[in-house]
Amino acid sequence: MVPALAVICIWQLFKSLNNHQAVRAYLFGIGLFIVSALGFSVSTFPYIVPFAVTYADAAAPDSSLKFLLAGTVFLLPMVIAYSGYAYWVFRGKLKHDEGYH
């Protein structure tokens, strides 16, 4: 299944690039990256470091994971909101023919 998804992503990526569809090409590039990471994780499961460290060996204690979850639930929305605000503030500052070419 993973190789078929990779082929589809590559095909659609090049098709989008040839048709000058930047957003679509970007999304298929991200999809190809995710499919590649999925393929690597499927091929090495249950090891993180092949034949040395498993996922269970590398996991942190439950108390640490709960602490990180609480911090993530609190901070991640703030980071996303700040990023959205920064994009909103700086929108439209560059004219179409300015910048890098």
Based on the fold, state whether residues 6 and 35 are members of the same structural domain.
yes
Based on the fold, state whether residues 37 and 68 are members of the same structural domain.
no
Q: Look up residue 16 and give its amino acid.
A: S
Give me the tens of pLDDT residue by residue for the chain, a chain 101 residues long. 999 999 999 999 999 999 999 999 999 999 999 999 999 999 999 998 888 999 899 999 999 999 999 999 999 999 999 999 999 998 877 777 776 76
Establish whether the linkage from the previous residue to 77 is cis, with ω within 30° of 0. no
Decide if 99 is inside a domain.
no
Angle at alpha carbon of residue 48, lines to 53 and 9, rounded to 5°? 170
Decide if 50 is inside a domain.
yes
Based on the fold, state whether residues 35 and 66 are members of the same structural domain.
no
* DSSP helix, strand, coil percent of the chain (3-state; round to 5): 70, 5, 25
Decide if 90 is inside a domain.
yes
DSSP 45: T
Q: Of 51, 11, 45, 41, which is closest to residue 28 (Cα–Cα)?
A: 11
Domain range for residue 84? 60-94
Based on the fold, state whether residues 47 and 1 are members of the same structural domain.
yes
Decide if 100 is inside a domain.
no
Based on the fold, state whether residues 48 and 85 are members of the same structural domain.
no
Q: How far apart are CA 29 and CA 14, in angstroms?
A: 10
Decide if 86 is inside a domain.
yes
